[in-house]
A and B are shown apart, each in its own frame.
Chain A
Amino acid sequence: MADFLLELRSEEIPARMQAGARGEMEKLFRREMDAAGVSVGDLTVWSTPRRLALIARDLPTETEAVRDEAKGPPVGAPDQAVDGFCRKNGVSRETLEVREVKGRETYFAVVEKPGQAVSDLLAAAIPAIIRDFSWPKSMRWGEASLSSESLRWVRPLSGIVALLDGEVVPCIMDGLASGRETMGHRFHSDGAITIDGADDYADKLRAASVIVDHEERQNAIREGAKAAAEAAGLTLVEDEGLVVENAGLTEWPVPLLGRFDEDYLDVPPEVIQLTARVNQKYFVCEEAANDGDNRLANAFLCTANIAAADPAVVVDGNRKVLAARLSDARFFWELDQKTPLAEHAKKLERITFHEKLGTVADKVERVAKLARWLCQEGIVDGDPDLAEQAARLCKADLVTEMVGEFPELQGLMGGYYAEKEGLPQEVSDAIRDHYKPVGQGDEVPTALVTVAVSLADKLDTLVGFFISGEFPTGSKDPFALRRAVLAIIRINSLGLRFRMQKVIAEAIELHLPASEYDVESEFRAIFVEDARKFQWTNEDRVKAQEIAENLTGQMSATRANWYGGLAALPAFFADRLKVQQREAGVRHDLIDAVFALGGEDDLVRLLARVKALQAFVETENGTNLLAGYKRAANILKKEGWESSTSRHPGLDPGSRSASDDEEAGSRLRGRDDESAETLDGLGEEDPLALAGKPEFDAAFSDTQKASTKPLSYTPESAEKALIEALDAAAPKAASSVESEDFEAAMAALASLRAPIDAFFEEVTVNDPDEDKRENRLALLARFRDAVHRVADFSRIEG
């Protein structure tokens, strides 16, 4: 058994790439050894800015010899066959062995593959590892780069140490020969150092002022910074990202504490922390204030890469750089305050939000109206005046110097400036927090004025892009619309109750305001009215989609986008809801099952229903009822008794039938022709108003009729029991859903489980008597539709 050390030395590797490089090093080493048949146990991989090191313990020194046998033709077979067999196995005829197989003399080829020295295998593997190393960005360098085929690496590769049990594994890569010499610290060590093997590698480097283990360096920074802060009577503001980054920038990390001028503490602490962290990679500290809270201290912690002769000199240099940055920041802070936010906001007219959605000022106008409306409608129980005021100012900080310098401070700076102006607390809070929640973990605002502005802002963005035809596709979501919907869902589920469709329609109207002088305004008015009537049913979505497709053909791209966006929104919400709820353990198929019923756009109610459904289907009653449902649905399907809900498969907006197409087309043509004078007659002309409901009701009432018709025969007892159970359960399920008592609705379904089981056990549906057969199919349809009152069970998996 032997230990192997590989060190790849490089000019400074970017800190952010080192973790990935360690993974790459291990992956490629394992790949190469695997291919060579060398078994590899545990690996240690280390990184510094100037080297990647890998230690593999207990490698075999030789691979095992392998004996391959192949059975050939029988003795006496034509020469051609025997020669072919020899060629195939790379042996000569004389070496063939003859053995008896089932009483026949048969040729065998035996190939002995001797074991190979692992050192040789490593020598071949190292160049392959280097060549195949994948970096986020790589480059060529030096004389070899005269050819564009020269080696690419993250920065120039400067040395290879490869030792197996202390012996050099000889290889050459791009003119660089492996050996046992490496370099210590760039400044604390002079000349090359010689490595004996895997065992003395880390120690030799440590003696040359290099801590090769990145975790040890991280620890030194983490603990050293903490200790330095404590020694100064301060508390370190911990920042794991900075720990890792500084460990990636140093081979001999020395945390040093410095002080900056206390006057800079006038600048908001977030600004100080940000400039220290982003620009300089410094930690900051806190100290106990008089009121017992912690506040930012005028101290910073930098991480030097040397044990400086006089650390004070290094600290002082860093202090000056930070002072220059803070001086800039304070300049911006003071300059920005000379102009009220309302004045700053005027400059938003010059900033394009998106070419199809106008300027940021336009957006602010819409958000202000929508935020006010949300409060006036009681959707958000906030003060409409404050909500509007906050919304009008919420983007003003985008044109301030500070946010120009640090875009990540948007919102926060506006909040500070509003406070300094003496605006109401609700307003400055709303300006500060209206971007929230930004990510999964970000807190959801609860202050009512903030909620109104945040919701309005996100709805405006979402709706605007959707009705402009700018949907996220695949991995592309340039306007972060998925995040916007997720934020809307999270705000919504924090205690707001509203119909999403109503709110969306309002946002649409703000995007497409009516105007007397605009020839397009009539189309806008028609669309807005359609949007207000639009329900989150499959039928409506299909209709809207059809209209969009017809309009595309009529060169009305803008209007096609309107309808297309409207049609696509419900599914977009459903998808985000599924992703969001997955973490909470809510099954996506159950969300589909409720969503597929259509018409549900109150997300709070929808989720309550899904959760009750989940509780139910995971009981024994639920599982059996689902089995009964599927059996019934299969029989009905075979007999052509299609269900109304599964005809337009749930959330797929592309599905539709040919006859619908024609209908929608003719309606639209009619409207286009008469567009000048149809404003009055809109109610009847509206394709969406005609769409949907009737078909669903018809299908439903048909089965009702069938079941209430007196039977021409005496039903079997199980049949009768099912009829009675349905008579009791169907209205109960429906009324429970109506009153949002979903547990009761599930209980009603549960009462059907025994009767449906018994029905399938005892009753033959496919009776030779046509009347019986029809009635029993109708009964199953009634059962299916009763279940559909609660959820579309065809979408439930299992």
Chain B
Amino acid sequence: MESEVKTATHESSAGTRDPSRSFQDMILTLHDFWSANGCVILQPYDMRMGAGTFHTATTLRALGPESWNAAFVQPCRRPTDGRYGENPNRLQHYYQYQVILKPSPADIQELYLDSLKAIGVDPLKHDIRFVEDDWESPTLGAWGLGWEVWCDGMEVTQFTYFQQMGGFDCKPVAGELTYGLERLAMYIQGVDNVYDLDFNGRGVSYGEVFLENEKQMSKWNFEVADTDALFDLFAKAEAECRNALNNNVPIAAYEQAIEASHIFNLLQARGVISVQERASYMGRVRDLARSSCETYAQQMAPEWEAKFPGWSLV
């Protein structure tokens, strides 16, 4: 039976898109879909980060009572996942598609399934399942409940109802969807190697765009990066975060926390952080991120409380 997209209406441009053959058309189709459903379509955050959740549109905007709906692609950097372009599934740089809907709408699951249909995943042909998977980020003082969404046994999306962020209860709760774009595209295009993905529907492959980057960046991450400089950068980011916090610009502080987090990941990839030190570095990053979120929330609280009588941060 044919299922219809209930809330979204596709503009004529969608007709010319072919998400089943083109990586970028898949992204554009998701943009169309979530745009039609009231989301602000953002561009990626211009910093290196390990996950789309770090984007301020997700973390900081998950705080506070105001409604907030946004969708964006976020490039993610995971230095230790680099494989010099030799592994068909693993990359040190890849894309996530993030949707944040606050408060979580009652039909959020249906919306999500409609978005899958829009990019060509037919739930009567493919076995879609919501499998328990709770999410926790000690770094962000955040946790939520939800699922990993399986398509024929493959995890294609993280689906989370944020319960806490920066140590504060989310009031209201936001729903977060994180699509793994490459693996979803591999699935839809039916290719077994990420570098074989058709990027633009006109024969430019993912490998042509990114293979050389993966080779060089893997080498830099694992072998080349100057570790003394990295240690120095970590310390400077940490200090700058404190400086920003002391001057009540928590968004700037948060950026430095993101920076410190990535530098730490690079140090990990370089193998220069011992098991004993690891916990201490993670604790330092956690302090920065949490303090930034806390300061942001506390600073915004009076404005929020004024707009939403009866609402309080804690």
Contacts and interface: CB of A to CB of B under 8 A. Distances in A.
Contact of B172 (A138, A145, A309, A350): A145
Interface in B188-202: 192
Given A146-B172, A352-B275, A321 B152 contact: yes
B124 A309 contact: yes
Interface stretch (B50-58, B129-137, B243-251): B129-137
A70 B171 CA distance: 53
Interface string A287-315: 00000000000000010111011100110
Interface string B254-284: 0000000000000000000001100000000
Interface string B126-167: 111111101000000000110100011110000001010000
Contacts of A146: 65, 103, 171-172, 308, 311
Given A139-B173, A145-B170, A317-B151, A12 B130 contact: yes
Interface in B96-114: 103-106, 109, 113
A322 B153 contact: yes
B89 A324 contact: yes
Contacts, number: 119
Contact of B127 (A140, A141, A158, A314): A314
A314 B152 contact: yes
B124 A188 contact: yes
Interface in A253-272: none
Contacts of A351: 275
Given A49-B130, A142-B105, A142-B106, A309 B308 contact: no
A306 B275 contact: no
B126 A314 contact: yes
A80 interface: no
Nearest to A144: B172
Contacts of B276: 352
Contacts of A322: 153
A599 interface: no
Contacts of B161: 139-141, 155-156
Contacts of A143: 103, 172
A139 B172 contact: no
A144 B124 CA distance: 33
Given A139-B144, A146-B103, A190-B1, A318 B152 contact: yes
A143 B124 CA distance: 31
Judged by DSSP, the binding face of B is loop
Nearest to B155: A321
A187 B171 contact: no
A154 B145 CA distance: 9
Which among B113, B130, B145, B153 has the highest number of chain A CB atoms within 10 Å? B153
A462 B68 CA distance: 55
Nearest to B145: A139
B128 A187 contact: yes
A308 B172 contact: no
A147 interface: yes
Contacts of A317: 126-127, 151-154, 187
Interface in A162-196: 186-188, 190
B207 interface: no
A321 B130 contact: no
A675 interface: no
A115 interface: no
B81 interface: no
A249 interface: yes
Contacts of B169: 148
Contacts of A156: 104, 106, 161
B114 to A, nearest CB: 12
B153 A145 contact: no
Given A137-B145, A146-B308, A318-B153, A309 B131 contact: no
A16 B144 contact: no
A249 B129 contact: yes
A254 to B, nearest CB: 9
A354 B304 CA distance: 48
B173 A140 contact: yes
A11 B130 contact: yes
Contacts of B127: 302, 304-306, 308, 314, 317-318
Contacts of A310: 125
Contacts of B125: 308-310, 313-314
**In the complex, which of the residues A16, A310, A317, A318 has the most CB atoms of chain B within 10 Å of its own CB atom?**
A317
Given A190-B1, A309-B125, A324-B89, A142 B173 contact: yes
Contact of B132 (A15, A190, A308): A15
Contacts of B171: 145-148
A69 to B, nearest CB: 50
B173 A320 contact: no
B153 A302 contact: yes
A23 interface: no
Nearest to A316: B152
Contacts of B180: none
A377 B94 CA distance: 61
A19 to B, nearest CB: 14
B152 A350 contact: no
B123 interface: yes
A712 B105 CA distance: 101
A263 to B, nearest CB: 15
Contacts of A49: 130
Nearest to B146: A155
Interface in A306-349: 306, 308-310, 313-314, 316-318, 320-322, 324
A745 B173 CA distance: 74
B271 to A, nearest CB: 12
A446 interface: no
A139 B125 CA distance: 32
A49 B129 CA distance: 10
Q: Which 10 pairs, one residue from A and one from B, show the smallest C-beta to C-beta distance? A: A317-B152, A14-B132, A12-B130, A318-B153, A145-B172, A145-B173, A304-B127, A321-B153, A139-B145, A187-B123
23 contacts: A12-B130, A49-B130, A139-B163, A140-B161, A140-B170, A141-B103, A141-B161, A142-B173, A146-B65, A146-B103, A146-B172, A147-B171, A156-B104, A156-B161, A186-B123, A187-B123, A308-B126, A309-B125, A314-B125, A316-B152, A318-B127, A320-B192, A321-B153
